[in-house]
Homo-oligomer: A and B are copies of this chain.
Amino acid sequence: MKKSLGPKAILGPTPVMVVATFNEDGTANAMTAVWGGICCTQPPCLAVSLRKETLTYANILQRRAFTVSLPSEDSLKEVDYLGLVSGREVDKLAAAKLSAFDSEVVDAPYVTEFPVVFECKLAHVLELGLHTQFVGEIIDVKAERGVLDHEGLLDTKRLRPLVFLPDRQAYYGIGSYLGQGFSSGAAL
**Which residues does chain B contribute within 8 Å of A188, judged by CB atoms?**
77-78, 81, 95-96
Complex contact A7–B141 (CB within 8 A):
yes
One complex includes copies of this chain to the number of: 2
**Which residues does chain B contribute within 8 Å of A70, judged by CB atoms?**
11
Complex contact A165–B169 (CB within 8 A):
no
- Known A-B contacts A3-B144, A165-B154; the reply to A172 vs B182 at CB < 8 A is no
Chain A contact residues, majority secondary structure? strand
Of the listed residues A131, A142, A181, the one surrounded by the most CB atoms of chain B closer than 10 A to its CB is A181
Complex contact B141–A5 (CB within 8 A):
yes
- A19-27, A56-64, A155-163 - the one binding chain B: A155-163
Q: A87 an interface residue at 8 Å Cβ cutoff?
A: no
**Which residues does chain B contribute within 8 Å of A12, judged by CB atoms?**
15, 37-38, 154, 161
Complex contact A37–B38 (CB within 8 A):
no
State in angstroms the CA–CA spacing of A44 and B166 once bound together: 13
**Which residues does chain B contribute within 8 Å of A8, judged by CB atoms?**
44, 138, 141
A10: which of B3, B10, B154, B174 is its contact (CB, 8 Å)?
Answer: B154
Per the 8 Å Cβ criterion, residues 1-57 of A in contact with B are 2-15, 17, 34-47, 49
Q: A102 an interface residue at 8 Å Cβ cutoff?
A: no
A73: which of B10, B163, B178 is its contact (CB, 8 Å)?
Answer: B178
**Which residues does chain B contribute within 8 Å of A38, judged by CB atoms?**
9-12, 14, 35, 49, 166
Q: How far is the CB of A153 from chain B (nearest CB, A)?
A: 5
